[in-house]
A and B are shown apart, each in its own frame.
Chain A
């Protein structure tokens, strides 16, 4: 992957997308091949790779602010600096006013914003996202996708998104990696040439360039599902 890229991995369920992500994150050991970040092999989980999980992985016993600042706390950033950075990211994900709430008082979409802010706040080199919007309702998902796009522009992060949602992959990704069904292997790479700042749902659905790419990916994925 190159710097600042937004890559999306799509494939039928059970093809090992989540496993791939867990290996990249260093949470699972790998048998063959190598995983490197900036040329350094991955040995275990570390703060250079931030992960946003499928389920809500934010800690229920920490407030929103303490969850977002958790990464900085673990890196030993002093409190003043931490507070400043946390405020910045609270604003970025639009959670101002909710800093002192506990996660169980938030909606599913808000919890996922906290998870996103927590990962961003730790300032990783690359951000890995595992179906981050799978557990939220359709309207919220669309809003969050547009916001993720906005945040990706604002922070210029390198992001790898794993999803089974073809629309999501096509909407967010610069490049989409399509995987085969189990055992998952790379099947095709689809590049999407739409400028990032033009990616708004209302506009892209009317854009033939977008729909064509999306349908291409959809066909690739459906071919895999059909061969059950």
Chain B
């Protein structure tokens, strides 16, 4: 246990070195002005951009209530809310259709090319058409995100269910299981490695698509903030936005996806197959 703890500490300390080096270089640039502040704002300016953006925000509660002065937290909550909503809707739908298509051979054969095509144009390419349909605003960006999440989860679930060895189904059927039990006790857990891959991919592609969609066809959210700040040449706000996006992504990955993987796939000794 102590050995494990020490190894972990070592990794954290080692991993911090490049960040420290980059941070030092960044700060040195602020002092020696190798690059102009408009191109590379000093760390202090990025830090104070938080407070400039949050100027009209009296406190945490107000930020959570999305008060009008809390610009930064509003953009963050708006983007994250859309991610949560699209997961809440897209995940169950994608898994349900994926399982259905996975166990029904004909349906699967018919829907697989649809999934391939939808995944090929998912994300950013839908933005112009979505703007035509929904106008500039949150509905367009939500549509883009949902579209990305659904098809990736659907497709990976389909592949995962198809990959579950038939003998598991037979074994459970021979014990007297109903069709529904076979789905919940064999297909869904058996497809889980692939489903988790689908969720990870949909988060990877989904965040990118959301940011791009907010830049082009949004009226709020982190991508929108980046775009507006860049147009006004407020580089420190752009830097801040980029850092926030990276931190949010890493936190969701660490806090949700990695533990999910550890608790299911690794514990069951299943093999992760890249689809």
Contacts and interface: CB of A to CB of B under 8 A. Distances in A.
Interface of A: 22, 25-27, 44-47, 49-51, 53-61, 70-71, 74-75, 102-105, 115, 118-119, 122, 128
A22 B186 CA distance: 19
Interface in B181-219: 181, 185-186, 189-190, 192
Contact of B176 (A27, A59, A71, A105): A71
B169 to A, nearest CB: 9
Given A51-B171, A59-B185, A102-B267, A46 B165 contact: no
A103 B181 contact: no
Contacts of A104: 268-270
Contact of A57 (B167, B264, B267, B268): B167
A53 B268 CA distance: 20
B125 to A, nearest CB: 38
Count chain A CB atoms within 10 A of each CB in B175, B178, B189 and give the residue with the most.
B175
A53 B170 contact: yes
B9 interface: no
A103 B165 CA distance: 15
Contacts of A60: 268-270
Contacts of A122: 175-176
A57 B170 contact: yes
A53 B173 CA distance: 12
Contacts of B131: none
A47 B176 contact: yes
Contacts of A115: 171
Which of under 10, 10 to 19, 20 to 34, or 35 or more describes the interface residues of B? 20 to 34
B170 A27 contact: yes
Given A45-B176, A74-B177, A122-B176, A57 B269 contact: no
B187 to A, nearest CB: 11
Contacts of A22: 170
Nearest to B192: A61
Shortest beta-carbon contacts, A-B, top 7: A104-B269, A47-B176, A57-B171, A51-B174, A71-B175, A45-B173, A61-B189
A60 B190 CA distance: 8
Nearest to B189: A61
A128 B175 CA distance: 12
B174 A45 contact: yes
B175 A102 contact: no
B176 to A, nearest CB: 3
B168 interface: yes
A118 B189 contact: no
B77 interface: no
Contact of B268 (A26, A61, A118): A61
B172 interface: yes
A177 to B, nearest CB: 21
Contacts of B269: 60, 102-105
A48 to B, nearest CB: 8
Given A75-B176, A102-B267, A105-B269, A58 B170 contact: no
B175 A50 contact: yes
